[in-house]
Amino acid sequence: MIKELCVIGHPSEVGGAGTELMDQISLWRWMGIKVYLYSKNSHKNNKTRSKLEKLGCFYVDTNDNFSNLKDFNVISFCNKYFLQNIETIKKYARNAIFVNCMTWNFDEELIAQENDHIDLHLYQTNHQFLSVSKKLKNLGTKYNYKLFHTYFDSSSFPFIDRNNTNKFNFGRISRSDLSKYSNDQLWIWDRIVSPKQKRGIILGWNEILQAKFGEDIPYYVTTHAANSISRQDFYKECDFIIMSTNTYENLPRVGLEAMSSGSLLIVDRRDGWKVLVDDGHSGWLCGDRNEFVYKASRAAFEKDESNNMRMNARNIIDKKYTKEISSQSWEKIFNSLQ
């Protein structure tokens, strides 16, 4: 297995790719991999940088020609800087590995594959691979890919007891992208029937969403800009996450966070949500807006059933997304690079 790995880019405290990368670096260090980071913006992430240095990570001095990456295996999670400079990076790096966390292709990703600059593509789920590979597999001389089983650090999202709440507290969290919101979202919330007063929270609000939904936001829903409250504090306030979207999800990071925190998922019956949620056992999957209304209302009335599903969801996190299980997939990947 390889002994060293250089990350192009930098983890972050928010965002799917940034937080995903942070957990995987923690796992790689646990596996004994020496991790280096090449990032021009590391000074903007002092809190995260401190965590990485405590893990024993090292920073590589950045320069314009990437010559100090000589003989490194380099990896990047959805980082455009990496893709835009990959031709130069490949002059020095032993292997260039790209992790696309989305379900669509970057233009620069396609160009890099066509020019044989990406040695290995990595994916989290099979449905993501099937979507992203359609354009890539016919580009360049060879398309190499592998799937990895993600590690999720559940210690950052402790399970919260929901037995003393006196309201039907629900929320949704995502980046401020219109595609993340289905046109039915507010319709669903308004029609949910609950024995307790409804209270909703949206985290990730901005002027674009305000322009589209502002006048229609119900009186019982409050909006918060991204990063205005921590994700942990958000989940403390949300007994349920009720999200209807227009997007094709890979492996929704907020789903892992919610399941770990005890916020019951009531989400779309498709793609990455189906990977995470066992319908009726660890959450609710919904095929249309009427099913959303029924299952959210049922969750409001059936307290014991909802609490059992919360516990089941947390047990899935504790058993499925561990260092022990994830490291097995990464070990196979790292062995293939030797």
**Shortest CA distance to 99 belongs to which of 39, 10, 38, 21?**
21
Q: What is the pLDDT of residue 43?
A: 58
Mean pLDDT, rounded, for 172-186: 90
Residue 234, pLDDT score: 97
Domains 4-151+322-336 and 155-320 agree in fold: yes
Note the pLDDT tens digit of each residue in 222-263.
999 988 999 999 999 999 999 999 888 999 999 999 999 999
Least Cα distance to 284 among 213, 188, 197, 207 occurs for 188
**CA dist 259 → 215, 306, 313, 317 (Å):** 31, 12, 5, 7
The CATH topology of domain 155-320 is Rossmann fold (3.40.50)
Look at residue 227 in the predicted model and tell me its pLDDT. Answer: 87
Question: Candidates 3.40.50.2000, 3.30.70.100, 3.30.465.10, 3.40.50.620; correct CATH number of 4-151+322-336?
Answer: 3.40.50.2000
Q: What is the pLDDT of residues 204-232, one digit of tens each?
A: 999 999 998 888 999 999 999 988 999 99
Q: Provide the residue ranges of all domains of the chain, joining segments of one domain with +.
A: 4-151+322-336, 155-320
Give the model's confidence band at 44: pLDDT under 50 very low, under 70 low, under 90 confident, else very high. low
What average pLDDT does range 18-40 have in this prediction?
A: 95
> Which of 297, 245, 291 minimizes the C-alpha distance to 272?
245
Residue type for position 173: I
Question: Cβ–Cβ contacts within 10 Å for residue 253, how many?
Answer: 24
